[in-house]
A and B are shown apart, each in its own frame.
Chain A
């Protein structure tokens, strides 16, 4: 009894602080997740009765070549896009951190694509990539670089890369803001001290800036990875619908296809669960890394 009282006195307030968040989260996210898991053990077309089929959906998913191809695409997408976004954003943030006039202007401008819904960005770039009217091909023709003309969205080998580029384009501004926040949180004195010690620009960069924005970097990277797994549906759907020949099919588009067009909700949910597990593994890895690399001031 006394122990409990002590416990409550010591930790009660803390738990109270997280309680509302936990309640809402559990009701509206976790519980539906479990329901989704439940459905994944059934065959269901979304309209008639569900039929229990145990692990069969998972068996079907494992046999489904398009799904694994989509997973492969998704992984490629996630890594390439995350690395590219973060490197570019970091670089831009450093540039912007210098005493540059019009900093606000630059920052707003690069952030603009972030405000666009994926659907908008997708449609916009679909036209840019258009082989006949597209700005890209027309521009290449203008500067006599026709050899670079490709079927940006129709060539199975490069369609996915074209889409990845749009994702990077859209999000660079956001990650740049994240990095800028982190960089500007570094106290000026550190740089002063380093300069006094004779450190050059690059050394400052690597020994002060990079380590101290590690926390931000991790956040930024985790966001881009999970985002690439779980929210690139609109973009791919609008630009190619997963084609040509499923070469741009990502896990999400295939899950939605399976669930809505094929009316195989159970199988689609099974795919979601598998994907969730895969993303979870990545997340865990990343957490583990970040624990080891956090710097305390």
Chain B
């Protein structure tokens, strides 16, 4: 009999525990939420007082995990300075991977958490964030400090003539890294044309018995970058316009230029420059192969420089040359651009527009920007006053020769589904599992499926109603102080 009672009590204790646990305990969600102090509501003119610019007194920033060593500390330092100078509080949360930002924004919005600023990537901004209406139009917002940014850095974030993101990081570009010491030893010069590259590769293969060029074929998102280069040349350096035409439905992707681009890439494999191993290698293995001199060259992005130097150390000298000319008469054009940015979520508290604006002014000041960005060993930082890293020997060559020939990554323009068609198609063509024609058809099919299933329209901005625009337009932006 008593055992029965014990059981019942047992169960009730559990239930009780459940119920009490349901009481909102330490929920950090509503801290610093909309206090109506200093809100813009009363202001009619643009001229605001300092109080108005300080909004609710607390700024909320979210972003993906800071991965460069030292960067998180630098942020803490700069933020502390900001808090002191303006007498406000800043709550910053770095969590998750860069591709989790849409999820983070959505869950924050669902939970009613205040978010004034969010980090984002150029790809996400262009393909997902802006068209879903979660990013605010920042064209007017950036005016006070726009001039501090490097020329052209806002281009990657401009859609329909409006600016949607604030680039804050380094600009990237791509090229072919090679083992200069080995080249010198074999008496080889940097190749500029494809034929020269073939010759160089043959010499390397014969004399050294190693793989001429290795590529991290397993990193799926890197294959399209080959396409950017090839397509830039096969379209007579008109690749961006071609892609826009394709996405707008004005042209099919199955034309001769497109097929040629695929075929040019396949040739790298046919002529023995790239080998089977590339299909199996991921980025870390690629570095290792190169460092152990099992391959002499690899196609790299500037973001690879720091890691590869860490692995190679002093073993040999590294050089870089541009993607070779595969179509006579064209220029080598590389994909690149400033990949990291900040956006203002559309559900941010308008009372804090002034505060976040001041924050951006603050972190774009030369001394603050340098503190933070120097941790990335930046090349071509988006804030003009931040010096490019001095520790990278190739910096000058990159800045002088490569960056001028850099255009926006095409995968920041076309949607993810289309990109996947390239990701699957390029290695397939390379290894002979698919013809170039079939690959281009796949890309075309991907777009058509997208249109059918998602009612995709490239120029989504022309479908927006006044109401849609209203949600992303800032009103009554308070002025901020700009310190030179």
Contacts and interface: CB of A to CB of B under 8 A. Distances in A.
B220 interface: yes
A24 interface: yes
A244 B427 contact: yes
B7 A17 contact: yes
Given A45-B132, A46-B102, A151 B453 contact: no
Contacts of A129: 280
Contacts of A47: 102, 105-106, 128-129, 132-134
Contacts of A60: 452-453
A48 B132 CA distance: 5
Interface stretch (B54-62, B71-79, B225-233, B282-290): B282-290
Interface string A130-174: 111100000000000000000111101000000000000000000
A151 B14 contact: no
B131 to A, nearest CB: 9
B49 interface: no
Given A43-B454, A131-B281, A20 B18 contact: yes
Interface residues of A, number: 39
A154 B99 contact: no
Interface string B25-36: 000000000000
A129 B281 CA distance: 10
Contact of B453 (A16, A20, A264): A264
Nearest to B105: A47
A19 B18 CA distance: 13
Given A23-B18, A47-B106, A132-B289, A261 B99 contact: yes
Interface of chain B: mostly helix, strand, loop or mixed: helix
Nearest to A259: B103
Contacts of A153: 218, 280
B427 A261 contact: no
B424 interface: yes
A132 B277 contact: yes
B121 to A, nearest CB: 13
A24 B21 CA distance: 13
Nearest to A263: B128
A42 interface: no
B280 A152 contact: yes
B454 A154 contact: no
B15 interface: yes
Contacts of B288: 132-133
Interface string B113-155: 0000000000000001100111000000000000000000000
Contacts of B427: 243-245
A181 interface: no
Contacts of B294: 132
Interface string B281-316: 110010011000010000000000000000000000
Contacts of B176: none
B4 interface: yes
A46 B106 contact: yes
Given A130-B281, A131-B276, A153-B218, 10 more contacts: A24-B18, A45-B128, A47-B129, A63-B449, A243-B218, A243-B220, A245-B424, A260-B103, A262-B417, A263-B128
23 contacts: A13-B7, A19-B15, A23-B18, A24-B18, A43-B453, A47-B105, A47-B132, A48-B132, A48-B134, A60-B453, A129-B280, A130-B280, A130-B285, A132-B285, A133-B289, A151-B279, A241-B218, A243-B423, A245-B427, A245-B428, A245-B433, A261-B416, A263-B102
